[in-house]
């Protein structure tokens, strides 16, 4: 990750030293990333359920159209 880019999203994780170089606090970033991964997994699980439901509906429609 580039500190300059992260600074726009989570400015409290980036600091600038006396020379003007930007640095990130990677230790503080870890819990944020863990939470983001959890949220993404929840979304993926939900999407998987939707896919399964839609696949079942499609299968039922195909069976009904064959009759």
The phi, psi pair for 15, rounded to 5°, reads -135, 155
| Count of domains observed in the chain | 1
| Assigned token pair, 23 | 């640095």
Q: Is the pLDDT of residue 15 over 90?
A: yes
Q: Which of 21, 28, 30, 20 is nearest to 2 (CA)?
A: 21
The overall pTM is greater than 0.85 = no
Q: Is the pLDDT of residue 67 over 90?
A: no
Separation CA 10–CA 35 (nearest Å): 14
Tell me the residue range of the domain where 27 lies: 3-66
């Amino acid at each position: 990750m580039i500190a300059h880019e992260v600074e726009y999203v989570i400015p409290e994780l980036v600091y600038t030293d006396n020379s003007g170089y930007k640095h990130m606090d990677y230790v503080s970033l870890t819990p944020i990333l863990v939470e983001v991964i959890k949220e993404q997994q929840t979304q993926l699980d939900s999407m998987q359920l939707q896919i399964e439901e839609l696949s079942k509906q499609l299968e039922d429609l195909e069976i009904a159209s064959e009759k």
